[in-house]
Amino acid sequence: MKKKHLAKKIMMAIFLLTIVSGCALGKKKAPDKMNSSEAVIQPQIQYQSEQKIDKQSESAEALQNIYFEFDKHELGPEALKQLSKTTAWLSSNPEAKISIEGHCDERGTVNYNNRLGLKRAESAKNYFIHSGIETERITVISFGKEKPVDIRHTDSAWTKNRRDEFKLVLN
C-alpha cells in the first residue's frame, strides 16, 4: 500500500514538472520578420500646429493671476499691468470668453470672504468693460477662502491666496 501511495506521489510530481516545464518551453520566439497579417497598427499622432501652440502660450501669458492686498479689492499697479496684457489678448481674440475667479486667504468668515472674492472678480471685470471688452464675454465667481493655492498659515501663503484667476470658457 505504501509503495502504491509513493508511486502516485512520484507520478503526480512528474506530471506537475511536465506541465510546468512545458509552459516554459512552449513560449514562442518572436519572429524575425512579420508578414502583412501580423503587422502592428501604430496609432496616428496628431500634432498641434505651431500657430495653435503659439496661441496657447500667448493665452497662458495673458491670463496670469492678479493679486490683492489684505482685505482689499482695489487693483494695484502690478494687477493693472497684468490686466492690460489680458485686455490686449482679449481684444485680439474676440471669440474668447473668460471666467474670473475671486479668491481670498483663510482669515475672516466664509460669508465675508465670499463677498470679498466676488468684489475682487468684479474689479477685474469692470477694468475689462471700461477697456472695451464686451460684458457677455466675462463671467465672475467667488470661491472665497475655499480653494487656497498654499495651505500654510503664513504671510507668504496668504499673499498667494488673495488673487483673481482667469480661465478660458469653452463655447
Residue with cell string 508578414: 35
Checking if the pLDDT of 20 tops 80, the result is no
Beta carbons of 157 and 151 less than 8 angstroms apart: yes
Confidence at 12, pLDDT banded by 50, 70, 90: low
Beta carbons of 128 and 83 less than 8 angstroms apart: yes
**Rounded-to-integer distance, Cα 42 and Cα 113, Å:** 52
Residue 39 placed within a domain: no
CATH of the domain at 140: 3.30.1330.60
What's the pLDDT score for residue 58?
76
Per-residue pLDDT reduced to its tens digit, 40-92: 444 444 433 444 545 566 788 889 999 999 999 999 999 999 999 999 999 99
Residue 136 placed within a domain: yes
**What DSSP character marks residue 106?**
S
Residue 16's contacts (CB-CB under 8 Å, 6 or more residues apart) are: none
Residue 3 placed within a domain: no
In total, how many domains does the chain have?
1
Residue 98 placed within a domain: yes
Measuring CA to CA, which residue among 101, 97, 112, 95 is closest to residue 140? 101
Residue 7 placed within a domain: no
Residue 2 placed within a domain: no
